[in-house]
Copies of this chain bind each other. A is one copy, B any other.
Amino acid sequence: MALRHLISIETLTMDEWNDLYRLARDIMDHPGDYSDACRGKVMATLFFEPSTRTNFSFQAAMMRLGGSVFGFSNPSATSTSKGETLMDTIRMCSGYSDLIVVRSPYEGSALAASMYSEVPVVNAGDGAHMHPTQTLADLTTITAHRGGVDGLQVGICGDLRNGRTVHSLILGLSKFKNVTYYLISPRELALPNYMLTFLKQSGQKFIEITNLESCLPQLDVLYMTRIQRERFEDPAEYERNKGVYILTAAKMQLAKKDMLVMHPLPRVDEIATDVDSDPRAAYFRQARYGMFVRMALLMTLSKLPRQPEAPPAEKQKGLCRNPKCITKFEPELPALFIGEGEERRCSYCDAEIS
């Protein structure tokens, strides 16, 4: 089945990725050729949770293709605040638009939205679950600078426990060959078990490490993320540790001459501003690459014909227990599961079902 919605990076095939990257590359090289590519198309941006950066990136992408955008960026402005269900909001917006971008604090929202939409749906972040277009931005940046992803030594540094960005990135990188992962974090914020299990089962090479400087010389890519003080049970532990995970111009002297420094932004102080002028600092270019690959995605999806909504034919029995799952907030949504026995997971939010 060809790409219709983008809900998770997991389901994107290498062919689909290659098509997207090729198109993004051509847009970067010949932007003038694409300024009418989405002429007459209208995109709805439904941000049930504020996100200036992601919202702007999607809007700018559609506008550069000659398309238009309507939507909301504030949960209090939504019709759901009048008691309307997500399904009904999606059905209305699907009638008005050619493509829907949805961001929500509830996990599984994007999948739920896609079931009730006549037009393609893109997940712009659903709680702590997935953020696939951030991963597209990350992979585009690496590919543009390094020619590809295969065989790279990738350090991921900071809070690896929380945060969809890191988990989505690992799922994305794992589609390529022979990537080595350096997972750099305090023990309290290490990668969760199910992600470690995934890395093992899919035969990835990885190393867990608490110190940035010791592995810095090996890295081709260093992906920095923010460590939030409030994630630590003991604030003193945070104070003792935080310097270890701050990248500075001094530390950059240890790194390869062509190492890429990446960050999903916004950064607070985990990358010192004296790194900004280093040519290896790619984080602002990364945001711009994100816009270009979103252009490729929006152009691809907004051309697809409308299709009748397709909610699941049969309701399944069961109950997802994740308190942030969209099914907790939309009681009319049918329960859906994948896998069997201990592997059984909620189709919406991927939470394991006990």
Contacts and interface: CB of A to CB of B under 8 A. Distances in A.
Interface of A: 31-32, 35, 39-40, 42, 44, 50, 52-53, 56-57, 59-60, 63-64, 66, 68-74, 77-79, 82-84, 88, 91-93, 95-97, 265-268, 273, 284-285, 287-288, 291, 332
A153 B66 CA distance: 45
Nearest to A64: B42
Nearest to A332: B273
A50 B44 CA distance: 17
Given A35-B39, A72-B52, A73-B77, A60 B96 contact: yes
Given A96-B56, A96-B57, A96-B288, A79 B42 contact: no
Given A40-B32, A84-B268, A77 B50 contact: yes
Contact of A266 (B44, B69, B79): B79
4 nearest A-B pairs in the assembled complex, by CB-CB distance: A35-B40, A63-B68, A95-B288, A84-B266
Contacts of A265: 84, 88, 92
A66 B88 contact: no
7 contacts: A52-B78, A59-B70, A63-B69, A63-B70, A84-B268, A92-B265, A96-B288
A96 B291 contact: yes
A79 B285 CA distance: 18
